Amino acid sequence: CLDIFNPEEQKILREYRQKNFANKTLVYSERRAIGKCPLTPEE
């Protein structure tokens, strides 16, 4: 689901996620709730 971002943005997003979401499942459920990204194993 990061494929809509360029590499620099992806890096920033990953760092943001690591800082703000200790539990990654929180990111998935939040993203699914707002309908931006399906839950995929490779993320």
Distance CA 31, CA 25 (A): 10
Q: What per-residue confidence (pLDDT) applies to 2?
A: 47
- Tokens 């890096």 belong to which residue? 11
Q: What per-residue confidence (pLDDT) applies to 9?
A: 78
What DSSP line would sit under 13-38, residue for residue? Answer: HHHHHHHH-SSHHHHHHHHHHHTS--
Question: Along the chain (43 residues), what's the average pLDDT of each consecutive run of 10 residues?
Answer: 66 75 56 53 48
Distance CA 19, CA 4 (A): 21
Q: What per-residue confidence (pLDDT) applies to 32?
A: 53
* 3-state secondary structure (DSSP) of residue 39: coil
Q: What per-residue confidence (pLDDT) applies to 30?
A: 57
